[in-house]
Amino acid sequence: MSNNLNNNLLPVGKVLHRHGLKGLLKIIAYSFSEKTFIHTQTIFIRSLSGEIKEYQITSVRPYKKKFFLELEGVNSGNEADCLKGSEILIKKEDLYHNHKKDEFFWFELQGIKVYLESGEYLGVICQIIATGSNDVYVVKKDNKEFLIPAIHDVVKDINLKKGIMLINPIEGLLDLNAV
């Protein structure tokens, strides 16, 4: 696979295991939405060995907090078993962009600078953790690490063009989170 295409792919989910005998895959979508898969017909699977292969989506449907994904060319349990643990990728331009003003893709937020509303530099988002209710931004500066909840009471503004996020931490948040 060309390096240019590889740089244009974004992880959107993971294959958990097969479901049944006919190649159906049970997956987790990082966005917890089937919209990611409905608005694209093509996905890429990065196997555990690192090989990337293109697949056409036949169907996707929600199941509890996961999804069932059917791919063209994956027609048996054995073929599905080979994909267990693989990462699901899509092209950046295939992302579903009809999201709200205050919704962002993780790849857009990683690496942006975080400032307090007072102007003090806090650090850079180096990781995002999905929790049940809201995401948590891991912000690092030097040897300090802060866990910032992605909630409106704390995150006041995100400017992707400038690459900055402004926060107003609730009392004690930065003291508690300094690792």
pLDDT tens readout for residues 1-47: 455 556 788 888 899 999 999 999 999 887 656 677 777 889 999 99
Which structure tokens are listed for 67? 């999804």
Identify the H or E element spanning 149.
strand 144-149
Which residue's entry shows tokens 């073929």? 79
Per-residue pLDDT tens for 105-154? 788 899 999 999 999 999 999 999 888 788 899 999 998 999 999 999 99
Dist. CA 111–CA 102, nearest whole Å = 18
Q: Structural domain boundaries of the chain?
A: 3-94, 106-177
Q: Are 40 and 51 in contact (CB under 8 A)?
A: no
Q: What is the pTM of this model?
A: 0.65
* pLDDT computed for residue 82 by the predictor: 95
Q: Which fold has domain 3-94?
A: Elongation Factor Tu (Ef-tu); domain 3 (2.40.30)
Establish how many alpha carbons lie within 13 A of residue 47's alpha carbon, considering only the half-sphere containing its beta carbon: 11
Dist. CA 138–CA 2, nearest whole Å = 32
Query: Of residues 52 and 92, which shows the higher confidence score?
Result: 52
Which class is domain 106-177? mainly beta
